[in-house]
Structure 1
């Protein structure tokens, strides 16, 4: 099992200088990876489709994910650096490809491009991107990324974007490009993972739900002639860490460090599976964040 943590970027951690220091400290703990998240808005009234009541206040204060990754890349030397998840549709795919290529170069080939569709209509409205047709828009975005990364000469003619035959250099360090992992929790999202992604950006969840979703990706990979055993899985958990044991039905999201880790172990079925622990919602203290990170490392190692 591989162990990753979130790049500190929200609420009281939204300071690039202290975040860079925390990234260095997290790398020193021996973790495998560091990941940014993507949040553009925190509406004052519950957004459409949000089932959790009021959004956490700290989501209203955030660092840009791509710039935060650049900061993390400069502050570290070894860890993989990823996005879980970057909302892929808020900028043209050629612009996204340039940014991700630059990050791969800055990090010397340590980038994992984790992409998703997001879930908040209000953020789509704010960026002027249509809510309808998101799946098709992501498919063409992936087409453009592949075209840019696979050849120095790029040409694309699709329903949404046209790129005249052009030279687009430099290319990324990783070939044929940074690994693309996709998020999502619908049948369509998992079908896309199995058909064309390097892996799935998942989350800690009840096991029956997880197994049903993963079976969709496995079947899609097999239909596409791909080996489902080669797909990566990254399980994000935003835990509420408690000092007393939580009820069994809650341990996918809250409980003691041991309870949460036991559940993550039950989800990880292969040596290449990875857990991503985001500690920004359970503490406001950099020192406590590092203490908890060390506890999770000791428990999961």
Structure 2
């Protein structure tokens, strides 16, 4: 099992200098990766699809840009992998996105994992002027453009949404043929796309029966596409709600003591390449508290028998 943490970027952690210091300390703790998230706004009226109609956490309204925050993390570290979970890929043209991601791969000397998805909040799409309908097709063509930019000496693309005349687009990423691309999503359509054309799944901590049902879709899609499903990575995000007393057994995929949450994460990680992403930004309020709790998770997840 690999261990990752969130890059501090929301609420009281939305300070690049503080974020850099925490990233350096997290690497020193021995974690394997650091991940940014992507939010544009926090509606005052609860958006459709969020936590059963509950208000969003206020700290989501204060945030650092994910790609710039990842650049801060790259400069503050030298070993850990750096990824996005999840970057909403459709809010900018894919050629512009490819340039930013290539630059990050160069800054980090080849440590970038490109984690992208569709997002889920209609209000953010409206604020960006990007159509809500047709998101799946837009993502498919975005992936086509990224592959063209990263994989070809002469870049050309003639799609429904974007056209790129024969061009030189340099430099290329350090990682060849391209940085790993992981996709988010929790629908059969999303898992089919992951199996067909991604390097892995940006998942979440969830009950095991739900996990197994979704993952079977990706495995079957990979096999139909002539790909080996065993090489697909899985990164399980948990927005940890850490409690001092034990939570009910059915809740430990998202809340409970550090040991309870880690016990569930261990059950989910069936392969050596599986990874956990522990986001502590909603359960801590200071850098010291964040790092102290991160140290507890590292100790528990690396304890004998893990």
**Mapping for residues 220-231 of structure 1, pairs under 5 Å:** 220-231=221-232
CA displacement at 1:48 relative to structure 2 = 2.2
Partners of 2:276 and 2:284 lie apart in 1 by 19
**Secondary structure of residue in 2 paired with 1:149:** helix
Question: Deviating runs (4+, > 6 A) in structure 1?
Answer: none
Superposition pairs of residues 112-191 of structure 1, within 5 angstroms? 112-191=113-192
Structure 1 residue 152: deviation in Å?
Answer: 2.5
Alignment partner of 1:9 is 2:9: yes
Q: CA–CA distance in 1 between the matches of 2:270 and 2:104?
A: 31
| Distance (Å, rounded) in 2 between the aligned partners of 1:294 and 1:166 | 48
Report SS of the residue matched to 1:89. helix
- Three-state SS of the structure 1 residue aligned to 2:90 is coil
**Alignment partners' CA distance in 1, 2:79 and 2:51:** 38
1:294 aligns to 2:298 (yes or no): no
Where does 1:59-74 land on structure 2 (aligned, <5 Å)? 59-74=60-75
Per-residue deviation, 1:151: 1.6
Displacement of 1:50: 2.0
Alignment of 1:1-301 (within 5 A): 1-52=1-52, 53-301=54-302
- Please give the alpha-carbon distance, in whole angstroms, between the structure 2 residues aligned to 1:285 and 1:75: 19
CA-to-aligned-CA distance 1:86-133 (integer Å, 9 cap, x gap): 000000000000000000000000000000000000000000100000
Q: Deviations over 1:43-100 (max 9, x none)?
A: 0001122234000010000000000000000111000000000000000000000000
The runs of 5 or more residues in structure 1 that have no matched partner are none
Root-mean-square deviation (Å): 0.6
How far apart, CA to CA, are the structure 1 residues paired with 2:274 and 2:82? 16
Task: Note the residue ranges of structure 2 that are not aligned, 5 or more in a row.
Answer: none
Which SS does the other structure have where 2:155 is aligned?
A: strand
How many Å apart are 1:153 and its aligned residue? 1.1
Q: How many residues are aligned here?
A: 301
Alpha-carbon shift at residue 282 of structure 1 (Å): 0.4
> 2: CA distance between counterparts of 1:197 and 1:209?
21
Once the two structures are superposed, what CA deviation does each residue of 1:255-283 show, in whole Å capped at 9, x if it has no partner? 00000000000100001100000000001
Structure 1 residue 288 displacement after superposition = 1.1
Shift of 1:142: 0.2
Q: Secondary structure at the match of 1:282?
A: coil
Range with greater deviation from structure 2 (43-52 or 225-234): 43-52
Secondary structure at 2:91's aligned position in 1? coil
Deviations 1:115-167 (A, max 9, x none): 00000000000001000000000000000000000122100000000000000
Displacement after TM superposition at 1:285 (Å):
1.6
| SS of corresponding position for 1:118 | coil
- The structural deviation recorded for 1:8 is 0.2
TM-score of the aligned structures, taking structure 2 as reference length = 0.98
